[in-house]
Amino acid sequence: MRLQNKTALITGAGSGQGRAAAKLFAKEGANVVVFDVNAVGAEKTVNEIIGSGGNAQLVVGDVSHSEDVQSAVAASIEAYGGLNVLYNNAAIWSAGKIDNYVTELEEENWDTVLSINLKGAFLFCKYGIPAIIEAGGGSVINIASVAGMVGSRMRSHAYSASKGGLIALTKTMAIAYAKEGVRVNVICPGGIDTPMLQPMIPTEELYQRVAKSHPLGRMGVPEDIAKCALFLASDDSDWITGVTLPVDGGVTAC
Ligand SMILES: NC(=O)c1ccc[n+]([C@@H]2O[C@H](COP(=O)([O-])OP(=O)(O)OC[C@H]3O[C@@H](n4cnc5c(N)ncnc54)[C@H](O)[C@@H]3O)[C@@H](O)[C@H]2O)c1
Protein backbone atom coordinates (compact mmCIF):
# COMPACT_ATOMS: atom_id res chain seq x y z
CA MET A 1 0.00 0.00 0.00
CA ARG A 2 2.48 2.61 -1.19
CA LEU A 3 -0.10 5.39 -1.59
CA GLN A 4 -2.12 4.90 1.59
CA ASN A 5 -3.81 8.16 2.72
CA LYS A 6 -2.77 9.94 -0.48
CA THR A 7 -5.03 11.60 -3.02
CA ALA A 8 -4.05 11.46 -6.68
CA LEU A 9 -5.65 13.45 -9.49
CA ILE A 10 -5.11 11.81 -12.89
CA THR A 11 -6.03 13.51 -16.16
CA GLY A 12 -7.04 11.43 -19.15
CA ALA A 13 -7.89 8.59 -16.77
CA GLY A 14 -10.80 7.42 -18.92
CA SER A 15 -8.61 5.36 -21.26
CA GLY A 16 -5.25 3.67 -21.85
CA GLN A 17 -2.39 4.63 -19.59
CA GLY A 18 -4.42 6.97 -17.39
CA ARG A 19 -6.90 4.22 -16.56
CA ALA A 20 -4.12 1.72 -15.78
CA ALA A 21 -2.45 4.23 -13.44
CA ALA A 22 -5.76 5.09 -11.76
CA LYS A 23 -6.43 1.42 -11.05
CA LEU A 24 -2.89 0.73 -9.80
CA PHE A 25 -2.83 3.83 -7.58
CA ALA A 26 -6.22 2.88 -6.09
CA LYS A 27 -4.95 -0.66 -5.46
CA GLU A 28 -2.01 0.90 -3.59
CA GLY A 29 -4.41 2.76 -1.30
CA ALA A 30 -4.83 6.14 -3.02
CA ASN A 31 -8.05 8.08 -3.34
CA VAL A 32 -8.16 8.71 -7.07
CA VAL A 33 -9.77 11.66 -8.82
CA VAL A 34 -10.49 10.49 -12.37
CA PHE A 35 -10.53 13.46 -14.76
CA ASP A 36 -11.37 13.15 -18.46
CA VAL A 37 -13.30 14.90 -21.20
CA ASN A 38 -14.77 11.50 -22.10
CA ALA A 39 -17.47 10.93 -19.47
CA VAL A 40 -18.18 7.33 -20.51
CA GLY A 41 -14.55 6.26 -20.29
CA ALA A 42 -13.99 8.08 -17.01
CA GLU A 43 -17.10 6.53 -15.47
CA LYS A 44 -15.87 3.07 -16.50
CA THR A 45 -12.57 3.69 -14.70
CA VAL A 46 -14.37 4.90 -11.56
CA ASN A 47 -16.71 1.90 -11.58
CA GLU A 48 -13.81 -0.54 -11.98
CA ILE A 49 -11.97 1.02 -9.04
CA ILE A 50 -15.03 1.09 -6.78
CA GLY A 51 -15.91 -2.45 -7.88
CA SER A 52 -12.48 -3.59 -6.63
CA GLY A 53 -12.98 -1.92 -3.26
CA GLY A 54 -11.05 1.31 -3.98
CA ASN A 55 -11.94 4.99 -3.72
CA ALA A 56 -12.52 7.11 -6.80
CA GLN A 57 -14.24 10.34 -7.70
CA LEU A 58 -15.39 11.29 -11.22
CA VAL A 59 -14.74 14.75 -12.65
CA VAL A 60 -15.62 15.36 -16.29
CA GLY A 61 -13.86 18.28 -17.94
CA ASP A 62 -11.38 19.58 -20.47
CA VAL A 63 -7.76 20.09 -19.39
CA SER A 64 -7.48 23.19 -21.59
CA HIS A 65 -10.37 24.96 -19.81
CA SER A 66 -9.21 26.83 -16.73
CA GLU A 67 -12.60 26.60 -14.95
CA ASP A 68 -12.71 22.79 -15.39
CA VAL A 69 -9.19 22.50 -13.98
CA GLN A 70 -10.00 24.66 -10.96
CA SER A 71 -13.20 22.63 -10.35
CA ALA A 72 -11.20 19.39 -10.44
CA VAL A 73 -8.71 20.60 -7.84
CA ALA A 74 -11.59 21.87 -5.68
CA ALA A 75 -13.37 18.51 -6.05
CA SER A 76 -10.26 16.65 -4.86
CA ILE A 77 -10.06 18.81 -1.76
CA GLU A 78 -13.78 18.55 -1.08
CA ALA A 79 -13.93 14.77 -1.55
CA TYR A 80 -10.68 13.77 0.13
CA GLY A 81 -9.38 16.80 2.05
CA GLY A 82 -6.35 17.63 -0.12
CA LEU A 83 -4.11 16.71 -3.02
CA ASN A 84 -0.79 14.83 -2.89
CA VAL A 85 -0.19 13.57 -6.41
CA LEU A 86 -0.93 15.30 -9.71
CA TYR A 87 -0.62 13.14 -12.84
CA ASN A 88 -0.77 15.11 -16.11
CA ASN A 89 -1.51 12.40 -18.66
CA ALA A 90 -4.28 13.67 -20.98
CA ALA A 91 -3.20 14.41 -24.53
CA ILE A 92 -4.15 14.06 -28.18
CA TRP A 93 -1.98 13.08 -31.13
CA SER A 94 -3.43 15.50 -33.68
CA ALA A 95 -6.53 17.61 -34.21
CA GLY A 96 -6.52 17.40 -37.99
CA LYS A 97 -4.74 15.92 -40.98
CA ILE A 98 -1.43 14.17 -40.40
CA ASP A 99 1.34 16.59 -41.31
CA ASN A 100 4.23 14.91 -43.07
CA TYR A 101 5.84 18.32 -43.33
CA VAL A 102 5.42 21.32 -41.08
CA THR A 103 4.22 23.30 -44.10
CA GLU A 104 1.14 21.02 -44.13
CA LEU A 105 0.32 21.60 -40.46
CA GLU A 106 -2.83 23.66 -40.02
CA GLU A 107 -2.59 26.52 -37.52
CA GLU A 108 -5.80 25.39 -35.79
CA ASN A 109 -4.37 21.89 -35.36
CA TRP A 110 -1.20 23.35 -33.77
CA ASP A 111 -3.26 25.53 -31.40
CA THR A 112 -5.53 22.69 -30.30
CA VAL A 113 -2.71 20.20 -29.68
CA LEU A 114 -0.60 22.73 -27.76
CA SER A 115 -3.65 23.82 -25.81
CA ILE A 116 -4.50 20.30 -24.61
CA ASN A 117 -1.04 18.73 -24.32
CA LEU A 118 0.95 21.65 -22.91
CA LYS A 119 -1.41 24.34 -21.63
CA GLY A 120 -3.52 21.64 -19.96
CA ALA A 121 -0.55 20.47 -17.89
CA PHE A 122 0.39 24.08 -17.13
CA LEU A 123 -3.14 24.82 -15.86
CA PHE A 124 -3.21 21.74 -13.65
CA CYS A 125 0.18 22.70 -12.21
CA LYS A 126 -0.88 26.31 -11.70
CA TYR A 127 -3.98 25.33 -9.73
CA GLY A 128 -2.89 21.94 -8.35
CA ILE A 129 0.58 22.69 -6.97
CA PRO A 130 -0.71 25.14 -4.31
CA ALA A 131 -2.96 22.35 -3.03
CA ILE A 132 0.01 19.93 -2.93
CA ILE A 133 2.07 22.49 -0.98
CA GLU A 134 -0.87 22.98 1.39
CA ALA A 135 -0.85 19.19 1.97
CA GLY A 136 2.84 19.32 2.96
CA GLY A 137 4.41 18.42 -0.40
CA GLY A 138 3.99 15.66 -2.93
CA SER A 139 4.60 14.57 -6.47
CA VAL A 140 3.76 15.87 -9.95
CA ILE A 141 4.14 13.38 -12.79
CA ASN A 142 3.93 14.61 -16.35
CA ILE A 143 3.56 12.28 -19.30
CA ALA A 144 5.51 13.44 -22.33
CA SER A 145 6.78 11.04 -25.01
CA VAL A 146 9.93 9.85 -26.71
CA ALA A 147 8.65 12.15 -29.49
CA GLY A 148 9.56 15.07 -27.20
CA MET A 149 13.15 13.78 -26.90
CA VAL A 150 14.02 12.66 -30.43
CA GLY A 151 12.57 13.19 -33.89
CA SER A 152 9.49 11.08 -34.66
CA ARG A 153 8.92 9.15 -37.90
CA MET A 154 5.17 8.97 -37.12
CA ARG A 155 4.77 12.66 -37.64
CA SER A 156 2.70 15.11 -35.70
CA HIS A 157 4.92 18.18 -35.40
CA ALA A 158 2.59 19.87 -32.89
CA TYR A 159 2.57 16.73 -30.71
CA SER A 160 6.39 16.55 -30.67
CA ALA A 161 6.64 20.26 -29.84
CA SER A 162 4.08 19.94 -27.04
CA LYS A 163 5.94 17.03 -25.48
CA GLY A 164 9.33 18.76 -25.76
CA GLY A 165 7.77 21.78 -24.05
CA LEU A 166 6.41 19.60 -21.27
CA ILE A 167 9.90 18.20 -20.59
CA ALA A 168 11.31 21.74 -20.29
CA LEU A 169 8.40 22.90 -18.12
CA THR A 170 8.95 19.92 -15.82
CA LYS A 171 12.61 20.77 -15.17
CA THR A 172 11.94 24.41 -14.38
CA MET A 173 9.06 23.56 -12.03
CA ALA A 174 11.21 20.92 -10.32
CA ILE A 175 13.77 23.57 -9.37
CA ALA A 176 11.14 26.17 -8.44
CA TYR A 177 9.19 23.93 -6.05
CA ALA A 178 11.92 21.73 -4.59
CA LYS A 179 12.19 23.70 -1.36
CA GLU A 180 8.45 23.34 -0.84
CA GLY A 181 8.63 19.56 -1.07
CA VAL A 182 6.98 19.23 -4.47
CA ARG A 183 8.84 16.84 -6.76
CA VAL A 184 8.17 17.16 -10.50
CA ASN A 185 9.22 14.47 -12.98
CA VAL A 186 8.34 13.52 -16.53
CA ILE A 187 7.94 10.07 -18.06
CA CYS A 188 8.55 9.61 -21.81
CA PRO A 189 6.75 6.49 -23.02
CA GLY A 190 7.74 4.62 -26.16
CA GLY A 191 5.05 2.88 -28.22
CA ILE A 192 2.24 1.82 -25.87
CA ASP A 193 -0.68 -0.28 -27.06
CA THR A 194 -3.60 2.10 -26.37
CA PRO A 195 -6.43 3.72 -28.36
CA MET A 196 -4.08 6.63 -29.17
CA LEU A 197 -1.52 4.44 -30.98
CA GLN A 198 -3.78 1.75 -32.46
CA PRO A 199 -5.13 3.81 -35.44
CA MET A 200 -1.54 4.57 -36.50
CA ILE A 201 -0.57 0.90 -36.77
CA PRO A 202 -3.71 -0.70 -38.21
CA THR A 203 -2.17 -3.89 -39.66
CA GLU A 204 -0.57 -6.80 -37.79
CA GLU A 205 2.55 -6.41 -39.97
CA LEU A 206 2.95 -2.75 -39.01
CA TYR A 207 2.24 -3.52 -35.36
CA GLN A 208 5.03 -6.13 -35.33
CA ARG A 209 7.43 -3.76 -37.09
CA VAL A 210 6.83 -1.01 -34.52
CA ALA A 211 7.01 -3.53 -31.65
CA LYS A 212 10.38 -4.84 -32.92
CA SER A 213 11.77 -1.30 -33.29
CA HIS A 214 11.96 -1.32 -29.49
CA PRO A 215 15.19 -3.11 -28.44
CA LEU A 216 13.29 -5.08 -25.78
CA GLY A 217 11.32 -6.57 -28.67
CA ARG A 218 7.72 -5.81 -27.78
CA MET A 219 5.19 -3.02 -27.65
CA GLY A 220 4.63 -1.35 -24.29
CA VAL A 221 1.43 -1.87 -22.33
CA PRO A 222 -0.25 0.78 -20.14
CA GLU A 223 0.89 -1.03 -16.98
CA ASP A 224 4.57 -0.50 -17.96
CA ILE A 225 4.02 3.23 -17.48
CA ALA A 226 1.73 2.90 -14.45
CA LYS A 227 4.41 0.95 -12.53
CA CYS A 228 6.99 3.71 -13.05
CA ALA A 229 4.45 6.39 -12.22
CA LEU A 230 3.69 4.58 -8.96
CA PHE A 231 7.38 4.75 -8.04
CA LEU A 232 7.49 8.49 -8.84
CA ALA A 233 4.25 9.11 -6.92
CA SER A 234 5.38 7.25 -3.80
CA ASP A 235 7.96 8.11 -1.15
CA ASP A 236 10.25 5.45 -2.69
CA SER A 237 11.41 8.23 -5.04
CA ASP A 238 11.64 10.96 -2.41
CA TRP A 239 15.09 12.17 -3.58
CA ILE A 240 14.20 12.28 -7.26
CA THR A 241 13.03 15.44 -8.97
CA GLY A 242 13.45 17.07 -12.40
CA VAL A 243 14.06 13.71 -14.05
CA THR A 244 13.13 12.89 -17.66
CA LEU A 245 12.54 9.14 -17.56
CA PRO A 246 12.18 7.25 -20.84
CA VAL A 247 10.04 4.13 -20.36
CA ASP A 248 10.41 2.96 -23.90
CA GLY A 249 11.80 -0.55 -24.27
CA GLY A 250 15.16 1.01 -25.07
CA VAL A 251 14.09 2.92 -28.16
CA THR A 252 15.86 6.18 -27.27
CA ALA A 253 19.08 4.25 -26.59
CA CYS A 254 19.34 3.51 -30.34
N1 LIG B 1 0.21 5.35 -26.67
C2 LIG B 1 1.48 5.71 -26.96
O3 LIG B 1 2.17 5.04 -27.74
C4 LIG B 1 2.10 6.89 -26.29
C5 LIG B 1 3.47 7.09 -26.46
C6 LIG B 1 4.07 8.17 -25.83
C7 LIG B 1 3.34 9.02 -25.02
N8 LIG B 1 2.00 8.80 -24.87
C9 LIG B 1 1.28 9.70 -23.98
O10 LIG B 1 0.66 8.96 -22.96
C11 LIG B 1 -0.48 9.67 -22.46
C12 LIG B 1 -1.68 8.78 -22.40
O13 LIG B 1 -2.06 8.41 -23.72
P14 LIG B 1 -2.74 7.00 -24.07
O15 LIG B 1 -1.80 6.29 -24.93
O16 LIG B 1 -3.24 6.34 -22.84
O17 LIG B 1 -3.93 7.52 -25.01
P18 LIG B 1 -5.52 7.44 -24.89
O19 LIG B 1 -6.03 8.13 -26.10
O20 LIG B 1 -5.93 6.04 -24.62
O21 LIG B 1 -5.86 8.31 -23.58
C22 LIG B 1 -5.85 9.71 -23.58
C23 LIG B 1 -6.97 10.20 -22.68
O24 LIG B 1 -6.91 11.63 -22.62
C25 LIG B 1 -8.24 12.12 -22.69
N26 LIG B 1 -8.24 13.49 -23.19
C27 LIG B 1 -7.93 13.93 -24.44
N28 LIG B 1 -8.12 15.23 -24.53
C29 LIG B 1 -8.55 15.66 -23.32
C30 LIG B 1 -8.92 16.93 -22.81
N31 LIG B 1 -8.91 18.02 -23.58
N32 LIG B 1 -9.30 17.02 -21.52
C33 LIG B 1 -9.35 15.90 -20.74
N34 LIG B 1 -9.03 14.67 -21.18
C35 LIG B 1 -8.63 14.55 -22.46
C36 LIG B 1 -8.94 11.18 -23.64
O37 LIG B 1 -10.37 11.27 -23.54
C38 LIG B 1 -8.38 9.84 -23.21
O39 LIG B 1 -9.17 9.27 -22.18
C40 LIG B 1 -0.61 10.88 -23.39
O41 LIG B 1 0.01 11.98 -22.79
C42 LIG B 1 0.16 10.47 -24.61
O43 LIG B 1 0.61 11.58 -25.35
C44 LIG B 1 1.36 7.77 -25.50
pLDDT, tens only, 118-127:
999 999 999 9
Rounded Cα distance between 200 and 207, Å, is 9
* pLDDT tens digits along 135-185: 999 999 999 999 999 998 888 999 999 999 999 999 999 999 999 999 999
| Three-state DSSP state, 32 | strand
Give the global pTM.
Answer: 0.99
DSSP states of 60-111? E--TT-HHHHHHHHHHHHHHHS---EEEE----S-SSS--SSGGG--HHHHH
Cβ atoms within 10 Å, residue 156:
23
Q: Which residues partner with 187 through β-bridges?
A: 143, 245
| Three-state DSSP state, 119 | helix
User: Which among 183, 172, 16 has a CA at the least distance from the CA of 84?
Assistant: 183
Pocket of ligand 1 (CB under 6 A): 11-12, 14-18, 36-38, 41, 62-64, 89-92, 116, 143, 145, 189, 191-192, 194-197
Distance 222 CA to ligand 1 centre (A): 11
In order of their start, the domains of the chain are 7-192+222-244 (3.40.50.720)
Measured in degrees and rounded to the nearest 5, phi and psi for residue 234 equal -90, 170
Sequence-ordered strand ranges (E) for the chain:
7-11, 31-36, 55-60, 85-88, 138-143, 182-189, 244-247
Which residue CA neighbors atom 20 of ligand 1 most closely? 16
